[in-house]
Amino acid sequence: MTEAIRTLPGPLGPAPVRTLALCLVSTSATGAGLLLPAALGRTLDLLLSQAPATRWVLYCAAIVLLLTLLDACETVLRGTVDAGTTAWLRRRLTGHVLAVGPRASERFGPGDLVARLVGNAAQAGTAPTARAALLAALAGPVGAIVALALIDPWLAAVLLAGAPVLALLLRAFARDTRQCVVSYQKAQGRIAQSLSEAVRGHRTIEAAGTAGRETARILRPLPELSEAGHRMWHVQGRAAGRSVAVAPLLQLGVVAVAGVLLARHRLTVGEVLAASRYAVLTTGVGVLVGQLAGLARARAATERLHEVLAEPAPRYGERGLPPGPGRLELRGVTARRGGRAVLDGVDLVVPGGTTMAVVGRSGAGKSLLAAIAGRLTEPDAGEVLLDGVPLRDLTHDALRRAVGHAFERPALLGGTVEQEIGMALSSPSPARVREAARTAHADDFIRRLPQGYATAVADAPRSGGESQRLGLARAFAHGGRLLILDDALSSLDTVTETRISAALVDGGENNGTRLLMAHRAATAARADAVAWLEGGRVRAVGRHEELWEIPEYRAVFADGERP
């Protein structure tokens, strides 16, 4: 947690100059507010004594004008600091979640991550301004007590006698508010997570006719959310009520003592007026209650961001890859999920320039092996080497240039078709993009789109197989010495799958090593070798024709027929 906290900005936020300027402006406004009662009291004394008071009237007008200008500056600075801090937090959180990878969504869930990124980041973004406002709010009562002491020490003594009571009220309010805010934000996160799950499975919900049941499931935390919200209002109302009971007594005490001093000619009428205004400033805990509530929300939200940032991101080395054919080697790879060893001491060698298919029953760990082979996730034990270099020793750029991926459900992120295919390239050329599309047999349907390769992905109607072909085209355009396909041919028709498999085996644009997670016997049959996963281990490696003689191997494939 300590390391995660260091990744967030300090008390002044990512824009310390603006935050300091806000502190200065807020404190100056408080100082001007403290000068105004004294100036009004002096003006009143001059008017009552029929002495010239024009200069002091101008002083009062100047202070009021200054307060107006400072208030405008404070509003602008507060808005810009809040917006800048929120944007910084969202960039930081997004980058960290992408760096952590699937482990972040596995722990928190996509919906909860979105809630933290959108709602909690906005609340945490107000922390620097909340601290600045709280400093100014505290400066007001402190300055007012000092001003009362300058008028007469007895006035300050009356207020200081009741200060501990007000301090205890504020402390209890801050503690209770934080507990309510934490409960409220956690309930929001659970609702967001349930909604995200329902959106992803909307077709299943519609087909099952369970929309009403899912709505109830999504909104199940709503009573807890409502209770936390009502509790926050109750805490704030209770604090305000208690302060209303205490503050007027203190103010009345100050005015009473000031009246006695006036009767004894130790105070003037103007000083009594000033003392009454300072008593209001000193006991006006309403502003402090509001600032403490805002700071409590910001701190609770910041802690929720800390939880995400505490997830360690993969570390990269400083080595590059030597020349080589793309030999992939897994040594003693063990990976656990939910306390179960999905992969248990896997040893596997894929010779450079060859195609190896990995087969196994559902749940055998094929996708997990594919992710580990490309370092999209980390094994719990063992290591993976590419051309003799451990993947963890490679720089980020060297690793991603060398290893390409294609998935069963490729993520198409919203650019044009051409941009999506060339996404992994620093400067994709149209010729390379189109050649990759032809290799993936996607060129024909892309040209039939309304604007061809310039069509936005969101406006490109396509089947599941066509989406897979776009993902394959992106992998082919990437190139590299190792290409990992995680069931990336599953939605293709037989003819297209045969042609793409032939292109993979023959090399084509990607003449490196290919690792295929296969569910079809036909795909396994075209590979140079097959690795058979069973029980978390590699049971056998060999040609498909050789392994087909084993009944348990044939049972792996659903059709049970030889291709």
Which one of 309, 341, 370 terminates a domain? Answer: 309
Same structural domain, 243 and 390: no
3-state secondary structure of 196: helix
395 contacts: CB under 8 Å, gap ≥ 6: 316, 317, 318, 319, 320
Mean pLDDT over 20-48 rounds to 91
What is the pLDDT at residue 177?
Answer: 74
3-state secondary structure of 559: coil
pLDDT confidence of 329, banded at 50, 70, 90? very high
The domain that holds 18 is classified in CATH as 1.20.1560.10
The verdict on residue 560 lying in a domain is no
- Residue 162 CB coordination number (10 Å): 18
The verdict on residue 222 lying in a domain is yes
The percent of residues in the chain predicted with pLDDT above 70, rounded, is 91
What is the pLDDT at residue 563?
Answer: 47
3-state secondary structure of 326: coil
- pLDDT tens digits, one per residue of 290-327: 677 788 888 888 888 998 988 888 889 999 999 999 99
The verdict on residue 103 lying in a domain is yes
Same structural domain, 216 and 294: yes
* The pair of three-digit structure tokens given for residue 88, joined into one six-digit string: 């910084």
What is the pLDDT at residue 178?
Answer: 72
How many whole angstroms separate alpha carbon 543 and alpha carbon 116? 49
3-state secondary structure of 292: helix
The verdict on residue 414 lying in a domain is yes
Number of domains observed in the structure of the chain: 2
- pLDDT tens digits, one per residue of 235-259: 767 666 666 666 777 778 888 988 8
How many whole angstroms separate alpha carbon 237 and alpha carbon 247? 15
Cβ-contact 39, 60 below 8 angstroms: yes
The domain that holds 500 is classified in CATH as 3.40.50.300
Cβ-contact 367, 340 below 8 angstroms: no
For residue 166, is pLDDT > 80?
Answer: no
CA distances 199 to 192, 217, 349, 362, 411, Å, are: 11, 13, 41, 25, 16
Same structural domain, 192 and 274: yes
pLDDT confidence of 286, banded at 50, 70, 90? low
* The pair of three-digit structure tokens given for residue 546, joined into one six-digit string: 């050789």
How many whole angstroms separate alpha carbon 104 and alpha carbon 110? 8
Task: Please state whether beta strands 537-542 and 529-534 pair in parallel, antiparallel, or not at all (unpaired).
Answer: antiparallel
Same structural domain, 153 and 204: yes
Nearest to 313 by CA among 377, 268, 365, 372: 377
What is the pLDDT at residue 449?
Answer: 87
What is the pLDDT at residue 311?
Answer: 86
What is the pLDDT at residue 243?
Answer: 62
For residue 50, is pLDDT > 60?
Answer: yes
Which one of 309, 341, 360 terminates a domain? Answer: 309
What is the pLDDT at residue 460?
Answer: 81
User: 304 or 13, which is more confident?
Assistant: 304
The per-residue pLDDT of the chain, averaged, comes to 85
What is the pLDDT at residue 4?
Answer: 41
> Mean pLDDT lowest for which of 210-219, 231-240, 306-315, 447-456?
231-240
- pLDDT tens digits, one per residue of 68-101: 999 999 999 999 999 999 999 999 999 898 888 8
Same structural domain, 354 and 233: no
Identity of the amino acid at 504: L
- pLDDT tens digits, one per residue of 492-503: 777 777 788 777
What is the pLDDT at residue 511?
Answer: 64
Cβ-contact 165, 121 below 8 angstroms: no
User: 373 or 185, which is more confident?
Assistant: 373
Q: Which residues pair with 540 in a beta bridge?
A: 532
Same structural domain, 251 and 394: no
Same structural domain, 281 and 361: no
Q: Which residues pair with 346 in a beta bridge?
A: 333
For residue 200, is pLDDT > 80?
Answer: no
Same structural domain, 359 and 271: no
How many whole angstroms separate alpha carbon 265 and alpha carbon 147? 19
The verdict on residue 320 lying in a domain is no
Mean pLDDT over 399-426 rounds to 85
CA distances 352 to 107, 459, 478, 514, Å, are: 36, 40, 18, 9
pLDDT confidence of 173, banded at 50, 70, 90? low
Which one of 247, 280, 309 terminates a domain? Answer: 309
Q: Provide the greatest CA pair distance for the chain.
A: 117
Same structural domain, 238 and 347: no
Same structural domain, 278 and 409: no
How many whole angstroms separate alpha carbon 503 and alpha carbon 505? 6
Same structural domain, 304 and 436: no
For residue 341, is pLDDT > 50?
Answer: yes
User: Which structural domain range is residue 471 located in?
Assistant: 328-554
What is the pLDDT at residue 283?
Answer: 65
The verdict on residue 322 lying in a domain is no
* The pair of three-digit structure tokens given for residue 176, joined into one six-digit string: 């209770």
Mean pLDDT over 464-486 rounds to 88
Task: Please state whether beta strands 381-386 and 328-337 pair in parallel, antiparallel, or not at all (unpaired).
Answer: antiparallel
> Mean pLDDT lowest for which of 156-170, 252-266, 453-467?
156-170
Give the CA angle between residues 455, 417, 395 to the nearest 5°: 150
How many whole angstroms separate alpha carbon 213 and alpha carbon 228? 24
pLDDT confidence of 562, banded at 50, 70, 90? very low
The verdict on residue 433 lying in a domain is yes
Same structural domain, 231 and 356: no
How many whole angstroms separate alpha carbon 415 and alpha carbon 80? 30
The verdict on residue 319 lying in a domain is no
Displacement of CA 342 from its chain's centroid (Å): 29
- The residue assigned the tokens 């929120």 is 86
Q: What is the DSSP secondary-structure string of 479-514?
A: --SEEEEESTTTTS-HHHHHHHHHHHHH-TT--SEE
